[in-house]
Amino acid sequence: MIQYEVRQTLVSVKNVSVLIDERPIVRDLSMEIKNIHRTDVAQGQVIALLGPSGIGKTTLFRVLAGLSEPTSGEVLVGDDQKPVEAGMVGVVFQQYRLFEHRTVLGNLVVAANRVGLRGHKAEKRSMELLDRFGLEGLHRRYPAQLSGGQRQRVAIAQQFICSHYFLLMDEPFSGLDPLAVDRVCKLVNEVAQADELNTIIIVTHNIEAGLKVADTVLLLGRDRDEKGAIIPGARIQATYDLAKMGLAWRENVDTLPEFLELEREIRAKFRDL
Protein backbone atom coordinates (compact mmCIF):
# COMPACT_ATOMS: atom_id res chain seq x y z
CA MET A 1 0.00 0.00 0.00
CA ILE A 2 1.37 3.44 -0.96
CA GLN A 3 1.86 5.64 2.09
CA TYR A 4 0.29 9.10 2.07
CA GLU A 5 -0.97 11.78 4.45
CA VAL A 6 -4.07 13.95 4.18
CA ARG A 7 -3.35 17.57 5.03
CA GLN A 8 -5.13 20.93 4.73
CA THR A 9 -8.36 21.65 2.88
CA LEU A 10 -7.83 23.10 -0.61
CA VAL A 11 -11.41 23.28 -1.90
CA SER A 12 -14.61 23.57 0.14
CA VAL A 13 -18.10 23.41 -1.32
CA LYS A 14 -20.60 24.41 1.34
CA ASN A 15 -24.34 23.82 0.94
CA VAL A 16 -24.42 24.89 -2.71
CA SER A 17 -27.81 25.01 -4.40
CA VAL A 18 -28.64 26.21 -7.90
CA LEU A 19 -32.14 26.99 -9.14
CA ILE A 20 -32.86 27.65 -12.81
CA ASP A 21 -36.36 28.97 -13.50
CA GLU A 22 -37.13 27.93 -9.90
CA ARG A 23 -36.20 24.32 -10.75
CA PRO A 24 -33.51 22.75 -8.49
CA ILE A 25 -30.48 21.63 -10.53
CA VAL A 26 -28.05 21.27 -7.62
CA ARG A 27 -29.41 20.94 -4.08
CA ASP A 28 -27.57 21.54 -0.81
CA LEU A 29 -24.33 20.03 -2.12
CA SER A 30 -21.24 19.94 0.11
CA MET A 31 -17.80 18.42 -0.36
CA GLU A 32 -14.13 18.99 0.53
CA ILE A 33 -10.87 18.35 -1.31
CA LYS A 34 -7.77 18.04 0.84
CA ASN A 35 -4.07 18.16 0.09
CA ILE A 36 -2.54 14.71 -0.34
CA HIS A 37 1.10 14.41 0.72
CA ARG A 38 3.37 11.54 -0.29
CA THR A 39 6.98 11.25 0.83
CA ASP A 40 8.17 9.49 -2.35
CA VAL A 41 6.84 11.89 -5.02
CA ALA A 42 5.07 15.22 -5.35
CA GLN A 43 1.40 14.28 -5.43
CA GLY A 44 -1.41 16.58 -6.40
CA GLN A 45 -5.09 15.77 -6.19
CA VAL A 46 -7.23 14.31 -9.00
CA ILE A 47 -10.96 14.17 -8.36
CA ALA A 48 -13.36 12.57 -10.81
CA LEU A 49 -16.89 13.95 -10.56
CA LEU A 50 -18.98 11.22 -12.16
CA GLY A 51 -22.62 11.34 -13.18
CA PRO A 52 -24.88 10.50 -16.11
CA SER A 53 -25.72 13.08 -18.76
CA GLY A 54 -28.30 15.66 -17.68
CA ILE A 55 -27.68 15.23 -13.96
CA GLY A 56 -26.30 18.75 -13.40
CA LYS A 57 -22.56 18.27 -13.92
CA THR A 58 -22.22 21.29 -16.23
CA THR A 59 -24.06 23.53 -13.78
CA LEU A 60 -21.84 22.41 -10.93
CA PHE A 61 -18.76 22.78 -13.17
CA ARG A 62 -19.55 26.44 -13.79
CA VAL A 63 -20.11 27.10 -10.08
CA LEU A 64 -16.82 25.43 -9.11
CA ALA A 65 -15.02 27.52 -11.75
CA GLY A 66 -16.54 30.77 -10.50
CA LEU A 67 -18.28 31.27 -13.85
CA SER A 68 -21.78 31.09 -12.33
CA GLU A 69 -23.11 32.19 -8.96
CA PRO A 70 -24.94 29.57 -6.89
CA THR A 71 -28.41 30.43 -5.67
CA SER A 72 -27.13 29.72 -2.17
CA GLY A 73 -23.99 28.35 -0.54
CA GLU A 74 -20.34 29.03 -1.40
CA VAL A 75 -17.18 27.59 -2.93
CA LEU A 76 -13.84 28.35 -1.25
CA VAL A 77 -10.42 27.61 -2.77
CA GLY A 78 -6.78 27.70 -1.71
CA ASP A 79 -4.89 27.55 1.57
CA ASP A 80 -6.62 30.75 2.62
CA GLN A 81 -10.06 29.46 1.55
CA LYS A 82 -11.14 32.50 -0.46
CA PRO A 83 -14.50 32.59 -2.26
CA VAL A 84 -13.97 31.41 -5.83
CA GLU A 85 -14.09 33.99 -8.62
CA ALA A 86 -13.72 33.65 -12.38
CA GLY A 87 -10.03 33.32 -13.21
CA MET A 88 -9.02 31.71 -9.91
CA VAL A 89 -9.61 28.22 -11.31
CA GLY A 90 -8.29 27.16 -14.70
CA VAL A 91 -10.93 25.74 -17.03
CA VAL A 92 -10.27 23.39 -19.95
CA PHE A 93 -13.37 22.82 -22.06
CA GLN A 94 -13.86 19.93 -24.47
CA GLN A 95 -12.78 21.93 -27.52
CA TYR A 96 -9.52 23.33 -26.05
CA ARG A 97 -10.34 26.90 -27.01
CA LEU A 98 -7.23 28.65 -28.32
CA PHE A 99 -6.67 31.80 -30.39
CA GLU A 100 -6.09 30.32 -33.85
CA HIS A 101 -4.40 33.49 -35.15
CA ARG A 102 -1.77 33.47 -32.39
CA THR A 103 1.22 31.19 -31.90
CA VAL A 104 1.41 28.76 -28.99
CA LEU A 105 3.58 31.28 -27.12
CA GLY A 106 1.20 34.08 -28.05
CA ASN A 107 -1.74 32.18 -26.56
CA LEU A 108 0.06 31.87 -23.23
CA VAL A 109 1.23 35.48 -23.26
CA VAL A 110 -2.39 36.63 -23.64
CA ALA A 111 -3.26 34.64 -20.51
CA ALA A 112 -0.24 36.08 -18.70
CA ASN A 113 -1.32 39.63 -19.62
CA ARG A 114 -4.71 38.97 -18.03
CA VAL A 115 -3.07 38.33 -14.66
CA GLY A 116 -0.87 41.41 -14.85
CA LEU A 117 2.31 40.06 -16.42
CA ARG A 118 3.75 42.16 -19.25
CA GLY A 119 6.62 42.04 -21.72
CA HIS A 120 9.59 39.89 -20.73
CA LYS A 121 7.89 38.63 -17.55
CA ALA A 122 4.90 37.37 -19.53
CA GLU A 123 7.10 35.58 -22.06
CA LYS A 124 9.35 34.12 -19.34
CA ARG A 125 6.39 32.70 -17.41
CA SER A 126 4.88 31.35 -20.63
CA MET A 127 8.09 29.62 -21.69
CA GLU A 128 8.49 28.10 -18.22
CA LEU A 129 5.07 26.48 -18.53
CA LEU A 130 5.67 25.35 -22.11
CA ASP A 131 8.84 23.66 -20.91
CA ARG A 132 6.98 22.01 -18.01
CA PHE A 133 4.40 20.55 -20.40
CA GLY A 134 6.90 19.38 -23.01
CA LEU A 135 6.01 22.08 -25.55
CA GLU A 136 9.15 24.19 -25.60
CA GLY A 137 9.95 23.35 -29.23
CA LEU A 138 6.46 24.26 -30.42
CA HIS A 139 6.22 27.84 -29.19
CA ARG A 140 6.28 29.36 -32.70
CA ARG A 141 3.62 27.05 -34.13
CA TYR A 142 -0.05 27.92 -34.53
CA PRO A 143 -2.87 25.82 -33.02
CA ALA A 144 -3.83 24.44 -36.45
CA GLN A 145 -0.33 22.93 -36.69
CA LEU A 146 -0.73 20.94 -33.44
CA SER A 147 -2.08 17.47 -32.76
CA GLY A 148 -5.11 17.09 -30.50
CA GLY A 149 -2.89 16.06 -27.59
CA GLN A 150 -0.59 19.04 -28.10
CA ARG A 151 -3.59 21.42 -28.19
CA GLN A 152 -4.77 19.96 -24.91
CA ARG A 153 -1.36 20.51 -23.32
CA VAL A 154 -1.33 24.12 -24.53
CA ALA A 155 -4.82 24.68 -23.12
CA ILE A 156 -3.79 23.28 -19.73
CA ALA A 157 -0.57 25.33 -19.64
CA GLN A 158 -2.58 28.44 -20.56
CA GLN A 159 -4.98 27.88 -17.68
CA PHE A 160 -2.23 27.29 -15.12
CA ILE A 161 -0.87 30.76 -15.85
CA CYS A 162 -4.11 32.15 -14.46
CA SER A 163 -4.94 29.68 -11.73
CA HIS A 164 -1.54 28.42 -10.49
CA TYR A 165 -2.84 25.24 -8.81
CA PHE A 166 -6.50 24.59 -9.67
CA LEU A 167 -7.81 23.09 -12.88
CA LEU A 168 -11.28 21.97 -13.99
CA MET A 169 -11.60 19.70 -17.03
CA ASP A 170 -14.93 19.27 -18.80
CA GLU A 171 -15.43 15.78 -20.32
CA PRO A 172 -11.77 15.40 -21.41
CA PHE A 173 -12.39 11.80 -22.58
CA SER A 174 -15.40 12.56 -24.78
CA GLY A 175 -15.16 11.08 -28.27
CA LEU A 176 -11.69 9.61 -27.75
CA ASP A 177 -10.55 6.10 -28.63
CA PRO A 178 -9.01 3.94 -25.84
CA LEU A 179 -5.42 4.85 -26.70
CA ALA A 180 -6.24 8.57 -26.66
CA VAL A 181 -7.99 8.15 -23.29
CA ASP A 182 -4.82 6.55 -21.92
CA ARG A 183 -2.78 9.52 -23.15
CA VAL A 184 -5.11 11.99 -21.42
CA CYS A 185 -4.90 9.97 -18.18
CA LYS A 186 -1.11 10.04 -18.39
CA LEU A 187 -1.12 13.79 -18.97
CA VAL A 188 -3.44 14.41 -16.01
CA ASN A 189 -1.12 12.40 -13.77
CA GLU A 190 1.89 14.36 -15.04
CA VAL A 191 0.13 17.64 -14.22
CA ALA A 192 -0.92 16.40 -10.78
CA GLN A 193 2.62 15.33 -9.92
CA ALA A 194 4.15 18.64 -11.02
CA ASP A 195 3.25 20.15 -7.62
CA GLU A 196 1.67 18.83 -4.42
CA LEU A 197 -0.94 21.59 -4.46
CA ASN A 198 -2.05 20.99 -8.04
CA THR A 199 -5.72 20.05 -7.84
CA ILE A 200 -7.56 18.73 -10.90
CA ILE A 201 -11.30 18.15 -10.97
CA ILE A 202 -12.50 16.11 -13.94
CA VAL A 203 -16.22 16.24 -14.72
CA THR A 204 -17.17 13.22 -16.80
CA HIS A 205 -19.63 10.41 -17.42
CA ASN A 206 -16.80 8.04 -18.45
CA ILE A 207 -16.68 5.70 -15.44
CA GLU A 208 -13.64 3.65 -16.46
CA ALA A 209 -11.44 6.63 -17.33
CA GLY A 210 -12.51 8.53 -14.21
CA LEU A 211 -11.55 5.58 -12.01
CA LYS A 212 -8.21 5.10 -13.80
CA VAL A 213 -7.01 8.66 -13.35
CA ALA A 214 -8.44 9.77 -9.99
CA ASP A 215 -7.50 9.33 -6.35
CA THR A 216 -11.05 10.28 -5.30
CA VAL A 217 -14.34 9.68 -7.10
CA LEU A 218 -17.52 11.60 -6.33
CA LEU A 219 -20.81 10.25 -7.64
CA LEU A 220 -23.36 12.92 -8.50
CA GLY A 221 -27.05 12.02 -8.47
CA ARG A 222 -30.47 12.77 -7.00
CA ASP A 223 -32.04 11.60 -3.76
CA ARG A 224 -35.30 9.66 -3.67
CA ASP A 225 -38.15 9.91 -1.19
CA GLU A 226 -39.60 7.01 0.83
CA LYS A 227 -41.74 5.99 -2.16
CA GLY A 228 -38.76 5.94 -4.53
CA ALA A 229 -39.71 9.13 -6.36
CA ILE A 230 -36.83 11.38 -7.47
CA ILE A 231 -36.21 14.53 -5.41
CA PRO A 232 -35.06 17.24 -7.87
CA GLY A 233 -31.55 18.63 -7.51
CA ALA A 234 -28.24 16.77 -7.70
CA ARG A 235 -26.13 15.98 -4.65
CA ILE A 236 -23.09 13.83 -3.87
CA GLN A 237 -24.47 10.30 -3.56
CA ALA A 238 -21.22 8.45 -2.83
CA THR A 239 -17.53 9.16 -2.27
CA TYR A 240 -14.85 6.61 -3.16
CA ASP A 241 -11.38 7.11 -1.65
CA LEU A 242 -9.36 5.20 -4.23
CA ALA A 243 -6.10 5.84 -2.37
CA LYS A 244 -7.45 4.15 0.75
CA MET A 245 -8.78 1.31 -1.43
CA GLY A 246 -5.35 0.80 -2.99
CA LEU A 247 -6.61 1.77 -6.45
CA ALA A 248 -4.80 5.09 -6.91
CA TRP A 249 -1.38 5.84 -8.43
CA ARG A 250 -0.93 2.33 -9.87
CA GLU A 251 -0.04 1.31 -13.40
CA ASN A 252 -2.52 -0.98 -15.15
CA VAL A 253 -4.94 -0.49 -12.27
CA ASP A 254 -7.84 -1.22 -14.63
CA THR A 255 -6.76 -4.88 -14.81
CA LEU A 256 -7.22 -5.50 -11.08
CA PRO A 257 -10.30 -7.47 -9.92
CA GLU A 258 -11.03 -4.77 -7.30
CA PHE A 259 -11.08 -2.10 -9.99
CA LEU A 260 -13.41 -4.08 -12.23
CA GLU A 261 -15.76 -4.78 -9.33
CA LEU A 262 -15.90 -1.09 -8.37
CA GLU A 263 -16.55 -0.13 -11.99
CA ARG A 264 -19.46 -2.58 -12.12
CA GLU A 265 -20.84 -1.23 -8.84
CA ILE A 266 -20.78 2.37 -10.03
CA ARG A 267 -22.20 1.46 -13.44
CA ALA A 268 -25.13 -0.26 -11.71
CA LYS A 269 -25.73 2.83 -9.57
CA PHE A 270 -25.88 5.07 -12.66
CA ARG A 271 -29.28 3.62 -13.51
CA ASP A 272 -30.79 5.05 -10.33
CA LEU A 273 -29.14 8.47 -10.29
CA dist 236 and 204 (Å) reads 14
- pLDDT band with cut points at 50, 70 and 90 for residue 46: very high
The CATH number that applies at residue 136 is: 3.40.50.300
In this predicted model, what pLDDT tens digit does every residue of 176-227 receive, in sequence order? Answer: 788 888 888 888 998 899 889 999 999 999 999 999 999 999 999 999 999 9
The total number of structural domains that make up the chain: 1
Q: Which of 92, 158, 105, 103 is nearest to 136 (CA)?
A: 105
Whether the predicted pLDDT of 73 surpasses 80: yes
What integer pLDDT is reported at residue 93 of this predicted model?
Answer: 80
**Pairing, β 216-224 against β 230-241:** antiparallel
Q: Which of 65, 69, 93 is nearest to 20 (CA)?
A: 69
**Verdict on whether the full-model pTM lies above 0.95:** no
Q: Print the domain residue range for 219.
A: 5-270
